Amino acid sequence: MGGRGTGGARTDRWPAGADRSGGPVKVDGLAVVDGPSVVDGPAREAGDARGAAAGDRLLPPPAGQVSPAPAPSSRANPVTVLEVLPRMDLAGETIRAVNLLRRLDPAEFRLLFCVTSGAPGSLDEEIRSLGGEVYYCRADPSFPFAFHRLLRRVRPDIVHSGVATFSGVVLTVARAAGVRRRVAHFFTSTDRRGDSVRGRLQRALGRVLLDAFATDLIAVSEAAMRGLWRESWRLDPRCRVIYNGVELEPFGVAIAGQRPMPSLPELDELGDVAPPPLTVLHIARPDPVKNRSRAIEIVAAMCTRGLDVRLRFVGRQSPEETERLMTLASGLGVSDRVEFLGERGDVPKLLVNSSLLLVTSLHEGLPSVVLEACAVGTPVLSSDLPGVAEIARVLPGITMLPLGTPNEIWASTAADLAVVPPTLDERREAMRRLRRSPFTMENWQRDITAVWS
């Protein structure tokens, strides 16, 4: 991993009388509000490697396992970290954050969250049950004032912002509120502002503010660092790449629970060996960047080749997108082969029982779903994204094609990858390889807490 440095010294504490209450809070000027943000994009810019049910699965710590912890500190109080994210739904970085909340020693770190969508998420109550808190501060023109009031009330030692270049605004307000450690975390290789004049100006302003007020700049991949920061990032001592980590235990459990392959092949009505049905999994949130429609086109091309294929979409759904996708599937004659499973907590099991993970995204940072498929040995067919290429340098089982490649070639490649399922021994070896790789939760926790320390 390029550009890795060490964290700076611990910050001084705020006055002992500061309010650090942890229950559900409605800060003056902050409200739970649904609807689109007035500011283009920041409410959704927490990175594209986040299939809505993807990332590290939530689980209690394994029995008898001692979670890694920072070195003992002489501080009388824990370090309070306020993470700024779009929404606390089932997604890669949010699930990792909740798993980290489970692992951290509460005497060392206190983890709080602020969401720029202003909307509650599916993980909010889980976070509160673990001793954290979620604050709602919508990214609209009043955000700087509302966020400043929140900071003066919570008094965090560290603000850790994961909303792309809008983090420039977040960290500017944090500096004005006196927060000494201000971290920007890039989860994707591009933001959502587009190439309009307004979008370019907003992106440029965000980078100027980050340059002035960020004490640390982190990215999930070299591609994300180059895309959202600059090509010369290695010359900036604040920059480091911290790869996403996978919580391996649920994937090991899924492998152990895999159904054994039948000893005799099934025969069709003519007595010939029937090819096994193929299950293609697509894990993502409802977002144009995830390019879900391309998955339907590829599966339709596979069916044209005579294959028995099922496409399963995992992740949060929007009624509008689901209607568009079903219209497309009906037009291609595959509506009976497409399933929408919604958000799921059993993604490891779904991956083990799938023939192929299909990734059709337009861009990503470091997609956790690819790491998860590699953990259980399920083949991956992905668009040729730089972040996926960084994973493929370390782990086998990944095939990439340009998005401009015809659907027929995608279908042929998918069939070649999916027709022979991995054996149990191959899945166990895949788990061992990932355990030896940089992409583990233990490595990620060590590096993130080093930044906070």
| CA separation for the pair 98, 124 (Å, rounded) | 10
**pLDDT for residue 122:** 87
pLDDT digits (tens, 9 = 90+) for 374-408: 999 999 999 999 999 999 999 999 999 999 999 99
What domains can be seen in the chain, in order of their start residue?
42-63+75-243+440-452 (3.40.50.2000), 249-435 (3.40.50.2000)
Give the tokens for residue 170: 């977040």
Overall average pLDDT of the 335-364 stretch: 96
How would you label 53-67 residue by residue, b for 16+ Cβ within 10 Å and e otherwise? Answer: bbbbbbeeeeeeeee
pLDDT digits (tens, 9 = 90+) for 247-291: 999 999 999 998 665 555 555 565 555 567 899 999 998 889 999
Residue among 357, 338, 355 nearest 420 (CA): 355
Residue 426's CB is within 10 A of a number of other CB atoms, namely 12
Overall average pLDDT of the 414-421 stretch: 94
DSSP string over 134-200: EEE---STTHHHHHHHHHHHH--SEEEE-SGGGHHHHHHHHHHTT-SEEEEEE-SSS-SS-SSHHHH
Dihedral through CA 437, CA 442, CA 447, CA 451, nearest 10?
160
Question: In the β-sheet with 338-342, what is the strand arrangement from edge to edge?
Answer: 338-342, 309-314, 278-283, 356-359, 380-383, 398-401
Class of residue 178 by CB neighbours under 10 A (exposed 0-12, middle 13-18, buried 19+) = exposed
Give the tokens for residue 212: 């002035």
| CA separation for the pair 316, 322 (Å, rounded) | 10
pLDDT digits (tens, 9 = 90+) for 166-220: 999 999 999 999 999 999 999 998 876 666 778 788 889 999 999 999 999 999 9
pLDDT digits (tens, 9 = 90+) for 116-169: 999 998 899 999 999 999 999 999 999 999 999 999 999 999 999 999 999 999
pTM for this model (two decimals): 0.79
**pLDDT for residue 21:** 40
Question: In the β-sheet with 216-219, what is the strand arrangement from edge to edge?
Answer: 134-136, 109-115, 79-85, 158-161, 181-186, 216-219, 239-241
Overall average pLDDT of the 303-310 stretch: 95
